[in-house]
Amino acid sequence: MSSDNTENLGSGPDLTYQAHLNKKELFLPKCLVCNEFHFYPRVVCPHCGSFDLEWQALSGRGEVYSTTVIRRKPERGGNYNVCLVTLKEGPRMMSRIDGIPAEDVKIGDKVTASIINNDGECHVIFSPSQEA
């Protein structure tokens, strides 16, 4: 099913990733040999070296692996969060947690992905998961 989706989305992994984001979908390449997802998207599995990959959807569930507050003067937009989120399926990505103050983001927090459109470019951000 994923191959139908991706065929007309451009050929490179970055384009494919972005095209999915543009449709509000979080897809990543999954290795058909070792069954691991990886991020950022490549043409080769960095876990085992296989080139046999398939784009698959992720749950969007993850956990904050580490977090920092970047201090910025209020007149320049104020403090903001930068964090690393480990997705339930394994890969880790940089992102930020929206919906709570930057200072309140804690390592181990359960978070859920959403896709935002920022000046025409789509990015994955996270917010605290509702259920425990």
Q: Which of 2, 9, 80, 112 binds other proteins (CB under 8 A)?
A: 80
Cα angle 101-104-108, degrees, rounded to a multiple of 5? 130
Going by C-beta distance under 8 Å and a sequence separation of 6 or more, which residues neighbour residue 65? 83, 84, 85, 86, 92, 107
Provide the mask over 51-70, with x wherever binding to other proteins is found by CB under 8 A and - wherever it is not: --------------xxxxxx
Q: Which one of the spans 3-11, 23-31, 54-62, 117-125 is the region binding other proteins (CB under 8 A)? A: 117-125
Can you tell me the distance from the alpha carbon of 69 to that of 71, in angstroms, rounded to the nearest whole number? 6
Q: Is 14 in the site for other proteins (CB under 8 A)?
A: yes
Q: Which is nearer to other proteins, 54 or 103 (CB)?
A: 103
Cα angle 110-73-95, degrees, rounded to a multiple of 5? 25
Q: Which one of the spans 23-31, 69-77, 80-88, 91-99 is the region binding Zn ion (CB under 5 A)? A: 23-31
Cis preceding-peptide flag for 40 (omega within 30 of 0): yes
Give the interface with other proteins as residue ranges (CB under 8 A): 14, 39-40, 65-71, 80, 82-84, 92-96, 103, 107-108, 118, 121, 123
